[in-house]
Amino acid sequence: MILAVDDVPQNIRLLQAVLEPRGFTVVAAASGSEALDLLAAGGIDLVLLDIVMPEMDGYEVCRRIRSDPATAFLPVVMITASGEPEKRRAVEAGADDFIAKPFDAAELVARVRSLLRIKRYHDGLRRFLPPEVADLVAADPAVLESHRREVAVVSCGLSGFAAFAEQAAPEDVMAVLDGFHAAAGSEIERAGGTLARLAADSVLVMFNDPLPCEDPALVAVRLAVAARDRVWELAEGWTRLGFALQPVCGVAFGHATIGRIGSASRWEYAPVGPVPLQAERLRAAASPGQILISQRVDAAVAGAAITSPAGDGAWDLLGLE
């Protein structure tokens, strides 16, 4: 949805006449304050902003858009009278692009489409990265290039899911997955982890990339405990419905190769190598309700966690100090 901001109704109608036949939805605001109210309600993908308006000019509106974290990366095209000083002030206020009056319809459509592609890219990042990480990547896509980094990786899943999915109604399976993903997702966001992989009954999360993380192994262990406890609460309700499902987690720590994996149309930012595989193997080996950690994780969290040997190089995380 495109927000057109102009105090002259004829200008709004002209923008609508150009954009709406090409499939865009255009909503109008006749003042800067009205535009900010519409933006606060959400749902706007791009702003076409006139400069000369009473009470609050376009420069001030743009500065307020940029100062709000919810709209800081929203594409803004300022409509200028073609003067170089105006263009310079538009850029200084935070505009992404500008269109000179009288504007060329083809140029307007091309610029709008280009900025909306960038907006979709940025929104896609936010599906699997914390907001601050998505902003970092949007500002510098080179962050996604393949590189080597020491990371802590957490794999959380549902024990008993395969048997449950074979017997349960599809609606029950979807309800369980919705609850699991919502609970795990809220804890991942709170911990500042990067969601690397989302499967039906498991999630893979990493720490220390792309944002640096102090003591990533300890942060990963704390996430595993928090996610396990949240899913345990859900499991009580599932048990009353006859669903034998329990949380299981594995945590590993070490160097991995990290980067963008997939195709141009669908990809994920994920670690590759022994560390994520070890986290997933530990999760698969864990008993219902158990968190298994690698020997390196155990060494890294010594003094902050209570653990006991579980065999095959794994340690059972019993609790946090």
- CA-to-CA distance for 15 and 257, rounded, in angstroms? 48
* pLDDT for res 144: 74
Question: For residue 97, what pLDDT band results from cuts at 50, 70 and 90?
Answer: confident
Higher-scoring residue by pLDDT: 90, 3: 3
Mean pLDDT of 140-167: 90
Q: Which pLDDT score, from 0 to 100, does residue 91 have?
A: 76
Q: What residue spans define the domains of the chain?
A: 2-125, 140-320
- Write out pLDDT tens, residues 212-271: 999 999 999 999 999 999 999 999 999 999 999 999 999 999 999 998 887 655 677 889
Please say whether the structural domain 140-320 has been given the CATH code 3.30.70.1230: yes
Residue 31 has pLDDT above 70, yes or no: yes
Pairing outcome for strands 291-294 and 194-198: unpaired
Task: Read off the pLDDT of each residue in 110-136 and give the average, rounded to a whole number.
Answer: 72
What pLDDT score does 70 carry? 76
Sign of the dihedral defined by the CA atoms of residues 124, 127, 129, 134, in that order: positive
What is the rounded CA–CA span in Å between residue 198 and residue 157?
10
How far is it, in rounded angstroms, from Cα 314 to Cα 300? 14
pLDDT of residue 306: 94
Specify the pTM: 0.67
Asked if 303 and 297 count as a contact pair (C-beta separation under 8 A), the reply is no
Strand partners, 267: 262
CA distances from 54 to 6, 33, 61, 76 (A): 10, 10, 12, 19
Q: According to the model, what pLDDT value does residue 72 have?
A: 77
More confident residue, 88 or 16: 16
Residue 126's pLDDT is: 65
Share of the chain above pLDDT 70, in %: 92
- 129 confidence band (pLDDT: 50, 70, 90): low
Alpha helices in the chain, H assignment, sequence order: 9-19, 32-41, 58-67, 84-93, 105-125, 131-139, 161-167, 170-191, 216-240, 274-285, 295-300
What's the confidence (pLDDT) of residue 89? 77
Pair of tokens at residue 207: 């720490």
**Mean pLDDT, the chain, integer:** 87
**Residue-level pLDDT at 221:** 97
CATH 3.40.50.2300 for domain 2-125? yes
| Mean pLDDT calculated for residue range 114-125 | 75
